[in-house]
Structure 1
Amino acid sequence: MRIEFIKGHGSGNDFFIIDEITNQYAFSEQERADMARLLCDRKTGMGADGILFTMKSDHADARMRVFNADGSEASMCGNGLRLVARYVCELLGKKNGVIETMKADLKVGRQEELFPEIHTYQVEISPVLFDLESLPLRLNQSTLVNEKIMQLSDRFTFTALAVPNPHLITLVETEDLQNEVQRQLSEYVNGPNELFPDGVNVSFVKSIQENAIYVRTYERGVGFTNACGTAMSASSLVTCLQKMNRFEEVINVYNNGGMVQCVVHEHDGTFTIDLIGNATYQYKAEVEVNLHDSLYTVISKKDFLEQPDYEKLQQKVQQYLKENM
């Protein structure tokens, strides 16, 4: 089958956007998973963290489904949602919209540039759930907020939450980011284990200064990524709960792929998060895919000219982290 897509990224978290709104594609569930494994394999020359299937919705402006590089489906993806927000808003000629995701309909919209010449979008991250059954996390308690899990570490304290995909977050020092502890812990909870039967995204968070944090995430189904939008949102919320940052204020969140901004809102004990960041297009391509033989051929490929502007932001971020971490 012949497929067109746009390759883009949010904070270096890269995806293929496949438009099922204007194209007459009819993928089976198995084809979606197989396509993600094939196209996202970085050994093939293209590669990505996942595929964003952008579809018609019966009640929202569009629907987003996210398939990870290993073929599993994610309930949400904040960085990917920014790309879908841009694609749908430009397709419909709108500044704001609503995107249907697996767990919720989320507001999205174009925002002022985060950095010169960078397409910037704000997306809503919700619902936020703390009950451990939502992850799931098998502990003999209902929630886990800034507590130890002795099966994992006698040193770190963790907060577990779903936004709505599952996250395990711990606040660390710089030296904890320079060793193999996060990898070892993450591989354990995403392999056969008694705590997280479905795996979990694991984030190590370092406070840099007031309203500025660094987040590194091992993403379930992917591994270490340049950035994970829901992880950065959840991490921002955790820092507000720990009184390191404040609700309703902009938090600059730095990552290996660049930076985003988060604003955490509290309403009568419930939370929502605004995630603001780039939606950068890299290229548009057409491929002939043979899923039966796990092969594809590139028919055409045309680069966008947006990446150099984003790289200027990356250079600024790298300099900031070098001076402050």
Structure 2
Amino acid sequence: MKIQVLKCHGSGNDFLLIDEMDGQYTFNEHDRATLANVLCNRNAQLGADGILFVLQSERATARMRVFNADGSEASMCGNGLRCVARYVCEKFNIEETVIETMKADLHVKKQDDLFPNVPTYMVEISPVSFQISDLPLNLEQDTLKNERIPSLSQILSFTALAVPNPHLVSIVDTNIIQSDLQKQLSEFVNGDNPFFPDGVNVSFVKPLEKGAIYVRTFERGVGFTNACGTAMSASSLVTCLGGLHETEQTIEVYNDGGKVRCVVHQESDGYWIELIGNATYVYEATVDYHKEQPDCFQVCERRVFEETQQYAKLEKVAQEFIKKWM
């Protein structure tokens, strides 16, 4: 069968997008997991952090499902949602809409460019929960906010939250960022461990200047990525809880793949976050795929988009800014 894929990225967090809305594909759950595992392999012809499947929705303009490179399904993906937002808005010639995700129907909207000629979208990140049972995290308490887990680390304090993906966030200094501690800790909590039976995304946050932070994330099911949208949103919220920033104000969030903007909103029933950043198209490709021999797929055609060159300029500016503070 021939499969049309769109390679895209949000802050360097790259995906293959497959449109199932028109009914030309008949994928089952096993098919989607296998496609993600095979097509996202960095040693093969395509490679990506995951696949974004865009499907029909009974209550929104479209539905997004996200499968990580290891074949597991994620409940949400902020960077991926921006790419889906752009794709759906351009498909239906609209500037804002609602996209169904696993845990919530989320508002998305086209924004002014974050950087000249870099297509930019805002996506809603919610629901937010501090109940550790929603991650889940096995501790004899209800929440974990800027507290230590002594048997996990003697020097770091953590905040645990679900947005709705599970996140463990720690605000650290440059020495910690430059050490191997995050890798060691992340691999532990995403392996056989007593705390996180389903694994967890681990983010280290380094405050830069006022209104700016650097976030590095070890993503569950992927490993270290250039950026994780829900992690940057969760990290922004944690800095507000810690008094580094205020709600309703823009936070510039830098990452290894560039930068985004976050705005944390507090309402009577809790928090939600605006995640604002690029949705960049890399190339379109036609894949000759056989379910009986998935590893033997071939890329038949490929059309490259020039807009990646403009995003590279944003990335360069962001990296130069980070170097001033690290």
Same-fold call, TM cutoff 0.5: yes
User: Does the CA contact (< 8 Å) of 1:169 and 1:205 recur in 2?
Assistant: yes
Report the alpha carbon displacement of residue 154 of structure 1 after superposing the two structures with TM.
Answer: 0.8
Give the % identical residues.
58
User: What is the CA–CA distance in structure 2 between the aligned matches of 1:144 and 1:173, rounded to whole Å?
Assistant: 20
Map of 1:175 onto structure 2? 175
User: What is the CA–CA distance in structure 2 between the aligned matches of 1:276 and 1:170, rounded to whole Å?
Assistant: 22
User: What is the CA–CA distance in structure 1 between the aligned matches of 2:46 and 2:178, rounded to whole Å?
Assistant: 29
Map of 1:106 onto structure 2? 106
- Give the match's secondary structure for 1:94: coil
Could you list the per-position Cα deviations for residues 30-74 of structure 1 after superposition, in whole angstroms to 9, with x for gaps in the alignment? Answer: 000000000000011310000000011011000000000000000
User: What is the CA–CA distance in structure 2 between the aligned matches of 1:291 and 1:130, rounded to whole Å?
Assistant: 41
Map of 2:121 onto structure 1? 121
User: What is the CA–CA distance in structure 2 between the aligned matches of 1:193 and 1:40, rounded to whole Å?
Assistant: 27
Map of 1:237 onto structure 2? 237
Q: What's the Cα RMSD here?
A: 0.7
Map of 2:27 onto structure 1? 27
Map of 2:325 onto structure 1? 324
User: Does the CA contact (< 8 Å) of 1:35 and 1:291 recur in 2?
Assistant: no
1:42-81 to 2 correspondences below 5 Å: 42-81=42-81
Report the alpha carbon displacement of residue 23 of structure 1 after superposing the two structures with TM.
Answer: 4.5
TM-score (norm 2): 0.99
User: What is the CA–CA distance in structure 2 between the aligned matches of 1:290 and 1:130, rounded to whole Å?
Assistant: 44
User: What is the CA–CA distance in structure 1 between the aligned matches of 2:323 and 2:22, rounded to whole Å?
Assistant: 45
Letter in 1 for 2:321: Y
**2:188 pairs with 1:188:** yes
User: What is the CA–CA distance in structure 1 between the aligned matches of 2:280 and 2:106, rounded to whole Å?
Assistant: 20
- Give the match's secondary structure for 1:298: strand
Q: Structure 2: any 5+ residue segments left out of the alignment?
A: none
User: What is the CA–CA distance in structure 2 between the aligned matches of 1:77 and 1:292, rounded to whole Å?
Assistant: 30
Q: Structure 1: any 5+ residue segments left out of the alignment?
A: none
User: What is the CA–CA distance in structure 2 between the aligned matches of 1:238 and 1:280, rounded to whole Å?
Assistant: 28
Map of 2:139 onto structure 1? 139
Report the alpha carbon displacement of residue 233 of structure 1 after superposing the two structures with TM.
Answer: 0.1
User: Does the CA contact (< 8 Å) of 1:261 and 1:277 recur in 2?
Assistant: yes
The total of aligned residue pairs comes to 325
User: Does the CA contact (< 8 Å) of 1:159 and 1:238 recur in 2?
Assistant: yes
User: What is the CA–CA distance in structure 1 between the aligned matches of 2:158 and 2:296, rounded to whole Å?
Assistant: 42
- Give the match's secondary structure for 1:6: strand
Letter in 1 for 2:300: I
Could you list the per-position Cα deviations for residues 241-272 of structure 1 after superposition, in whole angstroms to 9, with x for gaps in the alignment? Answer: 00001100000000000000000000025000
Letter in 1 for 2:200: V
Could you list the per-position Cα deviations for residues 267-314 of structure 1 after superposition, in whole angstroms to 9, with x for gaps in the alignment? Answer: 025000000000000000000112332220111100011101000001
TM-score (norm 1): 0.99
Could you list the per-position Cα deviations for residues 205-239 of structure 1 after superposition, in whole angstroms to 9, with x for gaps in the alignment? Answer: 00002110000000000000000000000000000
User: Does the CA contact (< 8 Å) of 2:258 and 2:318 recur in 1?
Assistant: yes
1:191-206 to 2 correspondences below 5 Å: 191-206=191-206
User: What is the CA–CA distance in structure 1 between the aligned matches of 2:210 and 2:291, rounded to whole Å?
Assistant: 49
Letter in 1 for 2:142: S
Greater shift in the superposed pair: 150-159 or 228-237: 150-159
User: Does the CA contact (< 8 Å) of 1:38 and 1:295 recur in 2?
Assistant: no
Greater shift in the superposed pair: 290-299 or 39-48: 290-299
Greater shift in the superposed pair: 282-291 or 50-59: 282-291
Map of 1:298 onto structure 2? 299
User: What is the CA–CA distance in structure 2 between the aligned matches of 1:234 and 1:298, rounded to whole Å?
Assistant: 37
Report the alpha carbon displacement of residue 178 of structure 1 after superposing the two structures with TM.
Answer: 1.0
User: Does the CA contact (< 8 Å) of 1:6 and 1:18 recur in 2?
Assistant: yes
User: What is the CA–CA distance in structure 2 between the aligned matches of 1:90 and 1:23, rounded to whole Å?
Assistant: 19
User: What is the CA–CA distance in structure 1 between the aligned matches of 2:320 and 2:23, rounded to whole Å?
Assistant: 43
Greater shift in the superposed pair: 294-303 or 133-142: 294-303
Report the alpha carbon displacement of residue 20 of structure 1 after superposing the two structures with TM.
Answer: 0.7
Map of 2:6 onto structure 1? 6
Letter in 2 for 1:292: E
- Give the match's secondary structure for 2:299: strand
Map of 2:287 onto structure 1? 287
Map of 1:97 onto structure 2? 97
User: Does the CA contact (< 8 Å) of 2:45 and 2:299 recur in 1?
Assistant: no
User: Does the CA contact (< 8 Å) of 1:128 and 1:163 recur in 2?
Assistant: yes
User: What is the CA–CA distance in structure 1 between the aligned matches of 2:269 and 2:62, rounded to whole Å?
Assistant: 30
